[in-house]
Structure 1
Amino acid sequence: MLDQNIKTQLKAYLERLESPIELVAALDDSDKAQQIKELVTEIAELSELVTARFDGENARRPSFGVAKAGQQPRIFFAGLPMGHEFTSLILALLQVSGYAPKVSDEVLNQIKGLNLKADFDVFVSLSCHNCPDVVQALNLIAIYNPETTATMIDGAFFQDEVEQRKIMAVPMLFKNNEHIGQGRMTLEEIVASLDVNAAEKDAAAMNAKGEFDVLIVGGGPAGATSAIYAARKGIATGIVAERFGGQVMDTMDIENFSSIQKTQGPKFAADLEAHVREYDVDLMNLQRVRHISGADQTANGLVEIELENGAKLQSKTVILSTGARWREMNVTGEKEYRTRGVAYCPHCDGPLFKGKRVAVVGGGNSGVEAAIDLAGIVEHVTLLEFGDTLRADQVLQDKLNSLPNTTVIKNAQTTEVVGDGEQVTGLNYLDRNTNQEHHIELAGIFVQIGLLPNTDFLKDSPIELSKQGEIVINERNETNVKGVFAAGDCTTVPYKQIIIATGEGAKAALSAFDYIIRSGL
């Protein structure tokens, strides 16, 4: 099951075990059960502190649990935790033994204070780069809440259950068999959703904060870089982020950032956060901004932002770096069938459509790349492009055209997502040349039609926006409002690229610092 190189690495990790643990497998007569038995046996052979048992009573078979010796398992893996989930397995082994997790004392105390009694199930695919964070978060919650269990379910292992529950997007999270969320969720997000008093506590803590010199709204590449540059000037710096890392967290491979030949979005975001935390930056995560007031609108001449939880923060300068999000088709049926056939991440959700027919909407680089990736998994991919030519790089078009199970339809305007009330069954589109309506029968639709700036909260503010909703800035990243700057994908700067966003973030911070020293603030 495990090659020698992986065994060597795993053995080194197991030397960090704090106490004996047991792997308790619940098997049946299937080939999948034999694979789990082989994995559990091999892990136990790597450490004297690990014991394998095959008398598990878990109703979901085949599966195995991880427990401290002498205790009942509370962490379960229904499937083989390989691929992206192998890290989840390693952390479960260590943390169940008593190995301290790498989370802040504040978050750990919040987890311990949940006092939960619940059973969590999270459906994953092993190719999903968003799933491990959710699995690892739930495992940690189960470790520190003795009456709670957490189960990772590989959809490929339990296809019948996937069909029964209509799982068409991962990660998909259930609490006591009730659906409570899907998509990428961080540990902090999950804990906050389970902590009924989190918003009130956050608001009280934030209202007690003093004024900042630079307050950054948004924690993507632009916002993180702004924070680093500002903090290095020795001035009071804070970040308010709805989700630190931003859209990078939903990006798979990054191969065009100078000096980094290849990395993945979640790792890039984690490295950004680690870099920011090297400095004295007040990082306020999971916070959404409701309103912003310019310096000329407040009594003390400071820029003020109001959060959704009611808290207010003031600063000499503010840098808006709220990034962008996937554009939606805005057609009938799209919202109704989201996560039930309508998807936005081919890497995460593609494996759930194995052997089925799907469509990709969008003929840019992201759309063509999605179609190429999906073609290796599904029965057939139809790519629909609104214009009369694909906009993707020629090398990608050549690759797509070489695949036998793909079809490209141009001048196609998607008009409706069709379903049976439970899941997607097809898609309607208008041929823009003939004005005729057509229908395609399929099981999934992957939307890849570009980005929208996250600037909705600015619609009633004095900050100037373009027709596309982007924040209008000059060459120094200044907006039309005194003391307010902006950077990254939410602005009018062309070419929405990570490396450009980081550069713009640095410019915005330097401009904000220059504004502070020149204005006598």
Structure 2
Amino acid sequence: MLEPALKDQLKAYLANIREPIELVASLDDGAKSLELAELLDEIAALSDKVSVSRDGTEARKPSFLIRRVGTDIDVTFAGIPLGHEFTSLVLALLQVGGHPSKAAPELLDQVRGLKGDYAFETYFSLSCQNCPDVVQALNLMAVLNPRISHTAIDGALFQAEVDARKVMAVPTVYLNGEVFASGRMELEQIVAKLDTGAIAKAAEKMAAKEPFDVLVVGGGPAGAAAAIYAARKGIRVGVAAERFGGQVLDTMGIENFISVQHTEGPKMAAALEAHVKDYGVDIMNLQKAAKLVPAAQPGGLIGVELENGAQLKAKAVILSTGARWRQMGVPGEDEYRNKGVAYCPHCDGPLFKGKRVAVIGGGNSGVEAAIDLAGIVSHVTLIEFDGQLRADAVLQAKLNSLPNTTIIVSALSTEVMGDGEKVTGLRYKDRTTEDEHLIELEGIFVQIGLVPNTEWLKGDIALSPRGEIEVDARGATSLPGVFAAGDATTAPYKQIVIAMGDGATAALTAFDYLIRQAPVEAETGSAVETSAAA
């Protein structure tokens, strides 16, 4: 079942298992159970510390648990964790087998110290690039704390269960039978939701940090490039990011990054973070900026207030907060988010197998989404506001060749319809005739571009009518000491390679700004020359 090269890699990983583990399978006579049995046998054949049994008692079939022999330490997979979840499988094998996690020691201690009983269930899809982070975090928690259990469930394989629970987005996490969260989450975020004092502790720790020479706000490609170029100057650099990697984490395939023929967003985000860490940059992940505090005097410290209440200070700030999916802004959209309204076709598409869906947007993203979904759902209706599609010709030709797609142009979406629990239809107006129409469907995938994450900057810095940060050719903003780069700015093209170049430009401009400043007074931190020399 596994390719020879993948087997060789897996065998090397399994050499790190310290304690014997057993794979306990719960199977039936179905084809998927046969596939799972073959996979488990192949894994066991690669290590003398891994054994297989077929006497599992799980109600979901096929499923299996990974258990440390002679203990209650285990995690469960319902389905066959290949695709994006293969890494989750490998990590689970290692961690149940006693291989230590690389997470921060204080965070691991926090998990071990959680009080209460927590039974987690996570619904994932094999095509979801956001799911592995959640699955891996909860698996690790189950290994560390005996009062925590976790079952990862392939929603596409257990469609009846998904329908009964009305799961319409992945990852969706249940805790003790109730919905706990939906969407990408990292270990720190999950722990913070369970440990109510975690946010206050983090804020106190950050508020005590010394001022940075350069503080980068945002951890996407622009922020990562800015941090690296600034740190290479020998100065003290920090990065405060709502989620390191930004929109890249939501990108399935990247084929236009020069010199890299193909990669995936999460893989690139991990590489960016590793590169930044190589330079000793202080990365403060999962921190959302709330307010920019201009310097009280020329050359003074600039403040950035975070949502957790802490304020970080720096001599120069680089804003690279990126952008997020644009919403339709129609009645019903917010009400039915994750109940049929979705923004990631790769993640959530498998949950709509055999159903009727719509894609909103006729650009490259929208047409690509419609093409992908057409292979899963029964029918796709693509709706475009303009009088024609804006996607590349090759994509339009592919879409037009598919028998289960309909294209509607000159259409204005006006309302998402639902029955209180899930989407049942979409209303739109024909912009040519003004006629109103209703399409009966069960899913709506919104692909109409991006909106900059700059609301928190209004009134403190010059923004364009679209909400983008106005920058000059060197990345300077309207506020001295504040620079910006990437998709949050007026840069005309929103591309990874351009964002990286803009980040490097902003960092070099920020350093040039610093070395031209007179030394500030002692209470505001040492001069940049002192930092560089250190």
Smaller-chain TM-score bracket: over 0.9
SS at match of 2:278: coil
Q: Structure 1 residue 22: deviation in Å?
A: 0.9
2:411 counterpart residue number: 412
- 1:346 aligns with 345
Residue of structure 2 aligned with 1:502, choices 500, 503, 510: 500
- 8 Å CA contact 1:366–1:448 kept in 2: the answer is yes
Are 2:426 and 1:427 aligned? yes
Aligned to 2:479: 481
1:388 is matched with: 387
Shift of 1:445: 0.5
RMSD: 1.5
Q: 1:9 Cα deviation (Å)? A: 3.1
Aligned residue for 1:375?
A: 374
Looking at structure 2, the residues matched to 287 and 303 of structure 1 have their Cα atoms a distance apart, in angstroms, of 17
Name the amino acid aligned to 2:487: D
Q: CA deviation at 1:300?
A: 8.3
Task: Provide the residue aligned with 2:514 in structure 1.
Answer: 516
Q: Higher mean Cα deviation, 4-13 or 132-141?
A: 4-13
1:220 aligns with 2:220: yes
8 Å Cα contact 2:68-2:74 kept in structure 1:
no
Tell me which residue corresponds to 2:56.
Answer: 56
Name the counterpart of 2:244: 244
Q: Which amino acid aligns with 2:291?
A: H
Q: Distance in 2 between matches of 1:254 and 1:192?
A: 32
In the TM superposition, what is the alpha-carbon distance from 1:298 to its structure 2 partner?
Answer: 5.9
Aligned equivalents of 2:73, 2:156: Cα separation in 1 = 23
- Percent identity over the alignment is 63
Q: Please report the TM-score for the alignment, with normalisation by the length of structure 2.
A: 0.94
Q: Distance in 2 between matches of 1:473 and 1:40?
A: 55
Of 15-24 and 135-144, more deviation after overlay is shown by 15-24
Task: Please report how far the alpha carbon of residue 35 of structure 1 lies from its aligned counterpart in structure 2 after TM superposition.
Answer: 3.0
Distance 2:160 2:395 in 1: 36
Instruction: Please list the CA deviations of residues 58-88 of structure 1 after superposition, one character each: whole Å capped at 9, or x if unmatched.
Output: 3333311011111235300011111111111
Aligned to 1:452: 451
Query: How far off is 1:518 after superposition?
Result: 1.2
Q: TM-score, normalised by structure 1?
A: 0.97
- Local SS of the residue matching 2:108: helix
Structure 1: where are the runs of 5+ without partners?
A: none
Q: In structure 2, what is the equivalent of residue 140 of structure 1?
A: 140
Q: Deviations over 1:127-161 (max 9, x none)?
A: 11111111111100100011111111011221111
In 2: Cα distance, 1:107 partner to 1:100 partner: 13
Give 4+ residue runs of structure 1 displaced > 4 Å after superposition. Answer: none
Give the 3 Å change call, closer, same or farther, for CA 52–374 of structure 1 in structure 2: same
SS of aligned partner of 2:412: strand
Query: Any conservation in 1 of the 2:219–2:240 contact (CA below 8 Å)?
Result: yes
User: Equivalents in 2 of 1:26, 1:385: separation in Å?
Assistant: 47
Kindly tell me the number of residue pairs found equivalent between the two proteins: 519
Q: Distance in 2 between matches of 1:127 and 1:12?
A: 26
Counterpart for residue 177 of structure 2: 177
- Note the 1:139-178 alignment, pairs <5 A: 139-178=139-178
Comparing 176-185 and 165-174, the one that deviates more: 176-185
- For residue 416 of structure 1, give the secondary structure of its aligned residue in structure 2: strand
Q: Which moved more, 1:53-62 or 1:306-315?
A: 53-62
The alpha-carbon distance between structure 1 residues 485 and 3, as it changes in their structure 2 partners (threshold 3 A), is closer
SS for the counterpart of 1:254 is: coil
Contact 1:298 1:304 in 2 (8 A): no
Q: Structure 1 residue 275: deviation in Å?
A: 0.3
Hey, what's the Cα distance between the residues in 2 that align with 1:259 and 1:106?
Answer: 39
Which secondary structure state, in structure 2, belongs to the residue aligned with residue 490 of structure 1?
Answer: coil
Q: What's the offset of the Cα at 1:400? A: 1.0
Question: Structure 1 residues 300 and 507 mapped into 2: Cα distance closer, same or farther (>3 Å)?
Answer: closer
SS state at 1:482 partner: coil
Match of 1:288 in 2: 288
**Counterpart of 1:22?**
22
CA change 1:10–1:313 in 2 (3 A) is closer
Matches within 5 A, 1:265-276: 265-276=265-276
Given that 1:380 and 1:405 are in contact with CA atoms closer than 8 Å, whether structure 2 keeps it comes out as yes
Structure 2: distance between partners of 1:443 and 1:125: 18
**Alpha-carbon shift at residue 98 of structure 1 (Å):** 0.5
Q: For residues 200 and 411 of structure 1, do their structure 2 counterparts lie closer, same or farther at Cα, with a shift above 3 Å needed?
A: same
CA contact (8 A) 2:73 2:146 kept: no
Q: Distance in 2 between matches of 1:318 and 1:203?
A: 20
Stretch deviating more after TM superposition (150-159 or 3-12): 3-12
